[in-house]
Structure 1
């Protein structure tokens, strides 16, 4: 018998170990996916499928990985399995249709598009009317960027916009207001200069808005970047300095990057940099977050294609060292240019060598999960930022939400126009599931997310800290349910409607009350389970009845000087009703109501009594047996749960914690 028990213990240990291993794999896969590391994420999702762990969910995510990796053949292979799943979101019909389009199965694609439309999906009139890249279709279906008006465009070329210190800096060929214009022979437009304007200005700008100092010359100047302290500028210019123009052996004037400093409101002390050369171009400067690296585009020797992205270190004394090509993950045999680094250290750039919608498209880099310095891939930022024309000079403001780019697409005012955008970042719901009695995290609790029609749209399990995180759509209503063996389910309803654009997470913590019959009197020490030492036990020590402490259910809260039941807490009371009428009809409770310290003692006694009574009346109205409510009583301000007594300053949130009704279980059979 001992040997048999030992075997059972070993088997149980191995099962638990395997379960935790799979949970860890899913968490890692989801983390990789959320950080755009789709190659690595796909490998882990395949492992989860092979282990038959949360198979439906892993299959959906694996198919999405292949979609983002521009691999429609493998995407279609897994979406084919996804669309057979029960209660699958209809958006996967659309994704499957797109993947079939990507492998030229047009008839099947149209069938699934029709099924998507018949299921309530919305399809634009021109869907599938153009043979566009598959990945862009996916991005178009999940749009993150939205265009805003930029006030300062002209009928000439405008690009290179970025914000700093309440100013927007940009490059333009307008030269408006100047009597005599010098024209660039290539396109018969004026030469480029650098302009600045107040971000909130409603007026367009002319030559008087050119930046002050020695930066603008008689040839092309711009685009620029400025250090975070606003004192140093790096800018592109034709090979022209100190009134001398230098041409290469072909008679062309190449581009160089110069450095200038701000002195008394003017940019001066223009300095030619050692990374430049007369026989190749160096242009499009960009600085990283701490101004320690300078990124740029160049066709210098060692360049893979027409032009590549390069980087050089900037040392504290201003010297430039360790020049490097950014490598073949970024650079192609075609042209790359216009680098930009956002506050998250993500490199954006333009390219006509990576797969895109048209000519130049804007791309973002993907970092290695384990080594954040290693770039493992690039991703097209999608429409509407990219189009079938040239899209370039992307920038993002420090808020991570707004920014600019330029395009020569149809519908603009000039040859190149600046477009402002705002970004709606990915939103997720997150929270911690805890034991309502002892406050410990509940590991491997099952989390299910439902839409407003009751369809399950996501499933996962909590990690070792009781934590979960699920990506969600905006402008939707949801219900999230936590469950675990030996616990009573808990749920929350929440909405992602009318929330701020910059908000990226919604918190929904859940509390699980242990099912009472998990604690048996025979041989168990209830103190080790987090129960109060003076817990009331309503059972004989030798019986099989449940041992129940004076356990508190989730409290409900009240508005200041109010005793009506708030809508969100009616849901909490409904859970108690279910317990007392269906699950445990012999369950008996006490109702204890409280106030904060504001107001007189006599007033608060009356107010808390009214809160206890309104709670009692609600439960009775829903079918609870009055004899199962042993007592309802108000305690006024006598049982504060924090230091917010009379005369002590406290925040509204601290006072709110005291305006509560608590429930004490005194009997459950």
Structure 2
């Protein structure tokens, strides 16, 4: 009996010791994770999974470790296990979807994005509903960027390539030729330093520790990337929160990124100063200057943003002081991460994001502005610049024909590699639209760019001065249609074939002829619109009264009137299907009028526009009522000639 009690006691002691050991491992893993030591944290979570201790939790955290280490191939394995768990936080649906995009499994990614959305997650609905169309447009678009090999990458990390005054600057963790290497716990690579070399000597020299930037910019922690003022005398750079040989941390023991500046003295960068808008409790990094040097752009996770890291700017005043950080707003920034801003010499902003519609992980985008320099849209740069992996730290030369970016895509030499590119510059088609009778500019005229076969490429309004502009490809034939209520449509061919490489702009002005107005004693009532049921092209019984009224006007009051039929759809369903559906609606409307005796010559055209001309904001990004969607399922009648 005593022996039995002894065995039981020993077993309980061993069990308690084992539980204590596993609890210690769990605390160690979480501590490493919280300190961004993801390599060590991953090892500890693996150990917990192997021993069956808090397996569900450890699986989720292990997946997160691999995601932070930018390894979607490994992350997707454990996220797949995580999303099968009962009561898993719905954020893991989104994380799994993003990891799937990282391995190019876009179809399955859309499945989990939809599950995330249906479970109450906040996401742009078009991110999965129109993802197939987005990918087709990206992969089938004509390339503007053509990649070139560079010979200065290492087996470790390089990014942040930046040209200034004939020199190429970049950051690297290579540390070749250095005996003592300090390693970063996040990925077990050495800390980043800033390197510089003569751009013209890249093909003839080996870059090692002797190419590190001279002066005091490089420290024992992360340094870079950088940007330099036009006069070449001031540098702004990212660095771990370290100055005067002191590493500072927040209350959790974490050292954030900060932005510093240095001045060039006798060919050496010195006089290191911290910028006043830094803070120990959040990170500021990835500085970029505007072309005139009056604004400093950067990425930050400071409080008050939209989520993750956002892009901000500060004004640099004439006396060298700085304004208050300004968030660039929701057109550029998302609830995820926007990083690595760059502004070219024309003031165009490029940046990386994993929150906008992309191919996977970080993609590079360009921000589109209106006439008042307000951000109105962002455009994915497409392939080959973007891939399913991280693509970031974009730079383009002053003439716009060459540049660099970084990526951890498959086929590279190291974890992050620098890629060079040549760019085929597009032509800016621009001009002004006028009234043909009084030669005044026409604002809000609709400009529709089409290919040589009449397929629509883009549609947009002229500005308040009647001006328009759009970038188009070289060596290509186009058609441009101009329309405005009260004016006759005009379509003209435009070609960029045969233009010299130096030509950057093509100006084409348009004049529109006003539609003749009826006599004052014979006002024409508004025609239509009529509406359609969801997913239907049949004329509704309740709309035949309006159609019969139009027939009466055309047959009895205005026997020479000619019209145009324009039909539309709501935004639900694929846009390609909606275009076909709207064309069917235009045809059924046309057929009805013809059946009532209207001569076909008096209907100048009948055309479907799909979901391109919505009358409200129901574009799939917001929830709308059926009544609101109904407003878009319509046919409009445009009077071309009244008498």
Give the TM-score normalised by the residue count of structure 2: 0.50
Give the TM-score normalised by the residue count of structure 1: 0.48
Q: Which has the larger radius of gyration?
A: 1
